[in-house]
A and B are shown apart, each in its own frame.
Chain A
Amino acid sequence: MSIFYFVAFLSIFFALMTIFAKNPVHSVLYLVITFFTFTVHYILLNAQFLAVVNFIVYMGAIMVLFLFVLMLLNLNKETEPMRSNLVKIMGAIAGMCLLATLLGAFRVIEVNNDYVTGNTDVGLVQNLGKVLFDEFLLPFELSSLLLLTAMIGAVLLAKKETKESNG
C-alpha cells in the first residue's frame, strides 16, 4: 500500500525537476526517470502489457529520440531561452488554478471511494490481445496507417532540400 505513495511522490518530484531543470539534457533525463516510475505504477496495477510497452516505447524510443535531437541541435544551458520571472510566476499560478479546479470538481462529484485492486487479469497480454484483435481490430489497423504516415511525413520534413529541386 505504501509503495504507491512512495512511487507517486517520486513521480511528482521528478516531474517537477523536469520542468525546472535549466539544462535541457538534464530535463530529458529527469523525464526518463519519471516515465520509469510510471512503469512501476503500471506494474502495481497489474497492467503488465502496458508496463512493458511503456518501458520500451516511451523510455526506449521516444525519450531517446528527444535526447538525440537535443544532441543533434547541440543545445545546452547557455543557449537555453528562459522566460522572465513574471511570466514564470503567472504560469505557475495558472497551473495551480487548473489543479484547484480539478480537485474541486472531484470533491463535488464524490467519486465512490472504492479501492483499486491490482488483482484483475485484464492487463495480461493474453486478455488484452483478445480484446485488441477482436473488438478494436479496425482502429488497430488504422493506427498502423497513422504511424506509416507519420514516418513518411517526418522524413519529408527533416530532409534537406537540394538545390536542384527547390520547388
Chain B
Amino acid sequence: MDSVIQHIQGIPLNHYLIFCSVIFSIGVIGVLIRRNVIIIMMCVELMLNSVNLLLAAFSAYRGDASGQVFVFFVMALAAAEVAVGLAIVIMVYRNTKSVDIESLSKLRW
C-alpha cells in the first residue's frame, strides 16, 4: 500500500480536472446520441461518477474530509434516483412496449 501511495505523488491537480471533464463530456455525448432510456440513465451515472472522483481528488488535495462526505451523499442520491427512474422506465415500458425516448413525446406541443 505504501508503494502505491508513493506512486500517486506525481499527479498534478490539473490532470484530474482534465480527466474528469473528459469523462463528463463522454456522459453528455452518450445522453445526446442514444435513444434507449436505460442507456441515457447510465450516462447520467457516468457524469455523476466523474464529479464524484473530482470531489474526492480535491478533498485529498486540500486535506479536507468534507469533499468525501459530499461524495457519499451524491452516491446516496444516485441510488435513490436510479430506483425511481428504473421504476418509471418499467411503467413506461408496460404502457408503450418500448424504451425508446421518442415514444415519450406526448407532452410536446
Q: Which residues of A contact B (CB under 8 A)?
A: 1-5, 8, 11-12, 15-16, 18-19, 24, 27-28, 31, 34-35, 38, 41-47, 49-50, 53-54, 57-58, 61-62, 65-66, 69-70, 72-73, 75, 80-83, 87-88, 90-92, 94-96, 98-99, 102-103, 106, 111-120, 122-123, 127-128, 131-132, 135-136, 139, 143, 146-147, 149-151, 153-155, 157-158, 160
Contact = CB atoms under 8 A, between A and B. Distances in A.
Contacts of A112: 13
Contact of B93 (A49, A73, A80): A73
A80 B26 CA distance: 20
Contacts of A150: 79-81, 83-84
B18 A103 contact: yes
A127 B65 contact: yes
* Interface residues of A, dominant DSSP: helix
B14 interface: yes
Interface in B28-52: 28-30, 32-36, 38-39, 41-43, 45-46, 49, 52
A42 B56 contact: yes
A87 B80 contact: no
Contacts of B29: 19, 91-92, 94-96
Contacts of B84: 150, 153-154, 157
A75 B89 CA distance: 13
A97 B13 CA distance: 22
A45 B57 contact: yes
Given A45-B57, A157-B84, A92 B72 contact: no
A66 B33 contact: no
Contacts of B82: 62, 65-66
Contact of B8 (A87, A116, A160): A116
Given A94-B32, A139-B73, A65 B43 contact: no
Interface string B1-35: 00011011111111111110111111111101111
B60 A120 contact: yes
Contacts of A91: 29, 32-33
Contacts of A11: 19, 23
30 contacts: A1-B7, A2-B7, A4-B7, A4-B8, A11-B19, A28-B42, A44-B4, A45-B8, A47-B68, A49-B68, A58-B78, A65-B82, A69-B90, A73-B93, A98-B24, A98-B28, A99-B25, A106-B18, A111-B17, A118-B5, A118-B9, A122-B68, A131-B65, A131-B69, A136-B69, A143-B76, A146-B76, A150-B79, A150-B81, A160-B94
